[in-house]
Amino acid sequence: MAFEETFIKTSDGLTLHTRSYGPEGAAQVVVCLPGLTRNGRDFHQLAEFLASNSGLGARVVTIDSRGRGLSDRDKDKSRYNLVVEANDVLDICDHLEIEHAHFIGTSRGGLLLHLMAGLRPALLASVTLNDVGPVLDLEGLQLIQAYLGQQRSPPRDWDEAVAAVKHDHAASFPLLGDNDWREMARALYRETDRKPVADYDPAIGEQFAAADFSQPLPDLWPQFDAFGKIPMMVIRGEHSRLLSKATVAEMAKRHPKLVAVTATGQGHAPILHLGGLERQIRDFLQNHT
């Protein structure tokens, strides 16, 4: 499926990259927000499906957050933070004239949605949180920190990139096959000078690697409660160490209509076009149109 690329200036002058799939005049709009060092390509296959007639027939917008993918790197590294990035999403929605949409947030993208629920709740037709909630387990944060902080030689070709991704994640993702690992590598890396290069500002990884996770982080329960009656799905990876079963259970207590799904054979964060997740997302969105 073809997609349209748009470069949008934020209120502080940075240019951010988006893709739009499906008809511009579609009745339903879906906006996808990626994780910490990820980009909108993570959602490519899901976006194609949701924009298709067998999916939702929706307009699907994927976003590269600042410093990721084809979006500008920020000279002021302190601006890689949740408040700035949540306002970036609002700027993009204003530019694209999106007034009401279904939002899917993976990991950090889901944290942005917690803030957006307080900033502009009327924008959120529904929320799907992919392996993230108001409490982040320290073990998961420390694993991500170790992964981002490790010293390794960059891959010399795509075979090495695929091997590196599989080495890092195979234990948590037994569901994935050879083609899935290749697709993940193509989403994580971008070819530069004929070599795959990690597709995010290194300062983002350095910032996270330097964070102090010796103590629990403040939770986001007040922000979670701001979702109110907004329809919500949470997807937890079966092998996730970032989002616990206990946190999902508490989310369900506070949001009685929460739809909770387990991504079998996946860890943090589940790939949303695998294992039937794309159909579960479609069904959830269809029930809340």
How high does pLDDT run on average in the chain?
95
Lookup: tokens for 170? 């195979």
Asked if pLDDT for residue 216 goes beyond 80, the answer is no
Contact 140, 268 (CB under 8 A): yes
CA distance 129 to 236: 9
Rounded CA gap, 27 and 153, in Å?
Answer: 47
Return the CATH number of the domain spanning residue range 3-136+219-286: 3.40.50.1820
Q: Are 84 and 66 in contact (CB under 8 A)?
A: yes
Q: Of residues 245 and 213, which shows the higher confidence score?
A: 245
Reported pTM: 0.96
What is the mean pLDDT of the segment spanning 51-56? 94
Segment 32-50, tens digit of pLDDT? 999 999 999 999 999 999 9
Determine contact, residues 17/7, Cβ cutoff 8 Å.
yes
The residue behind tokens 């979702």 is 227
Whether 26 and 57 have beta carbons less than 8 Å apart is answered as yes
* Domain spans, the chain: 3-136+219-286
What's the pLDDT at 243? Answer: 98
Q: Helices marked H in the chain — which ranges?
A: 44-51, 82-95, 108-119, 138-149, 158-169, 178-188, 202-209, 221-225, 245-254, 277-286
Q: Given a cut of 90, is residue 244 above it in pLDDT?
A: yes
Predicted local confidence at residue 256, as pLDDT = 87
Neighbours of 238 (CB within 10 A): 16
pLDDT of residue 213: 85
Cβ partners under 8 Å of residue 252, min gap 6: 258, 260
Query: Which pLDDT belongs to residue 289?
Result: 80
Mean pLDDT computed over 23-33: 95
